[in-house]
């Protein structure tokens, strides 16, 4: 069976550094940090009191009161980003066969705020009222519901589901979408991820396992991947969406093509429930699998958008894996972690970083890894590698590999390349 070619024809984003793709990208290449004091709740008693929140988001601009009552914040973010991508791709064209258009949308956690509110209400009032819950509790909370809402709004009746693989969730969604389109099971799929976990349960839970930075005195510089003083990740939120489409279908309708999806890989660390393998074995395997699937050599990759969360162990294992896979070519590539600006969007991270990867190809610019100070080095990290510290770099970019690694040892990597007819 001959596999079909798959291209990117639509982009949408709602992130801590911009409420659309162009603003997010402009701020990324200018090294703008999205971190600041938490405003979603009173965090005065928490070890971490800052995060990368979405700014100036007013649900009433997108949803009427009745619809808003049925949506957790993460699903609102998903719908806004997906609608941007659908509009960008002109996928709502009534002439298209919507039985052949699908939605695969990820969340690492899903409706955490809804769960927190409902469980808290029951804890306070359950004895006096009995088990009284909001009838929207379950459909607001479940992590697949964003895909359902997107398909209902646009009447897309193709493959429809959510993916959950922690911080690898939206790369997993992209790879699933890519595979279904190239196998001919759909003409196009709206894919990506969303997350909204900056609430007491999210921040408190990650604090308890010492995963978050506690640099409360200087939030904007707290996410500092590959620096010696890194002390944990900065939680982010938002959503990102891409339209992946079969090439001939896209050409027939005159769609704008941003880039081509070259291949994707998955693997497991099989090591620990939260820690990455210290030698980066799972990370090494997932990059090798992605290259093999794409039919590419290590020398074909110009830029790696790193998982790079700013955790003491995770950054080291990723760096080791890159040197193992790419050898001498590792020193010829650009590497960068855009999480230094956006924070870690958890289940939305892979999709947001996929957009960064596509824009690096279309614009010939590598976004930086910010917050690295001269001399702030880790003796276990090789600084002869080009981490694109602090300032974006212009470069002709033909192919980008984007890494995501999740709790549970879930790894997913995807490769985009410049489209050539």
Q: How far apart are the C-alpha atoms of 37 and 49, rounded to whole Å?
A: 6
Q: Which of 249, 307, 372, 410 is catalytic?
A: 307
Beta pairing partners, 61:
none
Could you confirm whether 307 is annotated as catalytic? yes
**E strands, 172-282, in order:** 188-195, 238-246, 259-268
113 is catalytic: no
For residue 36, which phi and psi values (nearest 5 degrees)?
A: -175, 175
User: Encoding tokens for residue 331?
Assistant: 């020193």
- Catalytic residue, candidates 52, 167, 277, 410: 167
* CA atoms of 111 and 226, how far apart (whole Å): 31
The CA distance from 193 to 212, in Å, is 21
Cβ contact 201:40 at 8 Å: no
DSSP string, 146-159: HHHHHHHHHT--S-
Catalytic one among 40, 344, 372, 410?
344
H helical segments located in 17-144: 21-29, 65-68, 73-89, 112-129, 137-141
**Is residue 344 annotated as part of the catalytic site, yes or no?**
yes
Kindly state the tokens that stand for 245. 């489409």
* Kind plus residue range of the DSSP H or E element containing 321: helix 312-326
* Residues identified as active-site: 167, 307, 344
């Amino acid at each position: 069976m001959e596999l079909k070619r798959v291209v990117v024809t639509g982009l949408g984003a709602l992130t801590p550094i911009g409420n659309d793709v162009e603003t997010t990208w402009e701020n990324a290449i200018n090294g703008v940090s999205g971190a600041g004091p938490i405003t979603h709740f009173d965090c005065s008693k928490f070890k971490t009191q800052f995060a990368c929140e979405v700014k100036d988001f007013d649900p009433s601009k997108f949803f009427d009161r009745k619809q808003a009552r049925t949506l957790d914040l993460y699903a609102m973010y998903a719908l806004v980003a997906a609608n941007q991508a659908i509009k960008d791709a002109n996928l709502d064209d009534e002439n298209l066969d919507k039985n052949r258009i699908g939605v695969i949308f990820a969340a690492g956690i899903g409706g955490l705020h809804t769960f927190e509110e409902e469980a808290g209400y029951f804890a306070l009032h359950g004895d006096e009222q009995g088990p009284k819950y909001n009838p929207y509790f379950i459909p607001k909370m479940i992590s697949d519901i964003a895909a359902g809402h997107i398909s209902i709004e646009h009447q897309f009746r193709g493959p429809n589901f959510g993916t959950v693989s922690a911080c690898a969730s939206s790369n997993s969604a992209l790879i699933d979408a890519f595979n279904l389109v190239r196998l001919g099971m759909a003409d196009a799929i709206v894919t990506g991820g969303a997350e909204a976990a900056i609430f007491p349960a999210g921040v408190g839970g990650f604090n308890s396992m010492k995963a978050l930075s506690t640099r409360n005195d200087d939030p904007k510089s707290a996410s500092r991947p590959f620096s010696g003083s890194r002390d944990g990740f900065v939680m982010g939120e938002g959503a990102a969406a891409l339209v992946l489409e079969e090439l001939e279908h896209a050409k027939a309708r005159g769609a704008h093509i941003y880039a081509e999806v070259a291949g994707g890989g998955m693997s497991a660390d099989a090591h620990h429930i939260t820690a990455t393998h210290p030698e980066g074995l799972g990370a090494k395997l997932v990059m090798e699998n992605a290259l093999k699937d794409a039919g590419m050599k290590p020398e074909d990759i110009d830029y790696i958008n790193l998982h790079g969360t700013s955790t003491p162990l995770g950054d080291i294992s990723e760096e080791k894996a890159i040197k193992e896979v790419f050898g001498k070519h590792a020193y010829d590539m650009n590497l960068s972690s855009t999480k230094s600006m956006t924070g870690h969007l958890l289940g939305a991270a892979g999709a947001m970083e996929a957009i960064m990867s596509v824009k690096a190809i279309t614009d010939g610019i590598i976004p930086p890894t910010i917050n690295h100070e001269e001399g702030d080095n880790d003796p276990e990290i090789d600084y002869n590698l080009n981490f694109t510290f602090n300032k974006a770099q212009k470069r002709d970019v033909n192919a980008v590999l984007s890494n995501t690694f999740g709790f549970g040892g879930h790894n997913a990597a995807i490769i985009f390349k410049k489209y050539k007819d």
